Amino acid sequence: MILVDTSVWIDYFNGHNSVEAAYLGLCIADAGPLTIPGLVLTEILLGVRTEAEAKRITRALSAFEFAPELEKSDYQKAAELYRACRARGLTPRSTIDCVIAQLCLKHGYELLAKDRDFDAIGKVFPLKRVSTTPMVQDRPRASSF
């Protein structure tokens, strides 16, 4: 299962030509297993300008599995994750990224993201990241919703 971070969805919906957005397009075209956490849905919807756009994106994202809700212990572990990274001189900038990383670690999700916080977290914890390069170079980007 692949958890797709906010920045990749934003690139995808805006037609920004990033490797991660292209990979997401391939996953969608191939009906790959994708999941969306509530925090990512919220971040995406915070960026839309109109209610019509919010409804369109909500409808499009409803096609994907919604990640399980986090428990109290997950929030505590996300804070531990932050402190462990900071202790090694790799301080994540985003609390939400720490929570998303914890969700991935807990459920064994692969993470499709382009945020450098996850690079730092991955140096301290066994965060699985999607390797986008091989597949994307071989296939064109799928059309957006």
At residue 132 the predicted structure's pLDDT band, cuts being 50, 70 and 90, is: confident
User: What's the mean per-residue pLDDT of the chain?
Assistant: 91
Q: What is the model's pLDDT at position 82? A: 97
Quick check: 33 pLDDT over 60? yes
Q: Which helix (H) or strand (E) holds 14?
A: helix 6-14
> pTM for this one?
0.86
State the DSSP code for 113: -
* The two three-digit tokens of residue 84, written as one number: 């462990």
Cα distances (angstroms) measured from residue 81 to each of 107, 131, 135: 15, 23, 31
Domain boundaries in the chain? Answer: 2-136
Q: What are phi and psi of 131, to 5 degrees?
A: -90, 110
* Distance, CA of 113 to CA of 4 (rounded, Å): 6
35 versus 17: which is more confidently predicted? 35
Please state, as a whole number, how many other Cβ atoms lie within 10 Å of the Cβ of residue 56: 14
* Gap between the Cα atoms of 88 and 96, Å rounded: 20
Report which residue type is found at 35: T
| CATH architecture assigned to 2-136 | 3-Layer(aba) Sandwich (3.40)
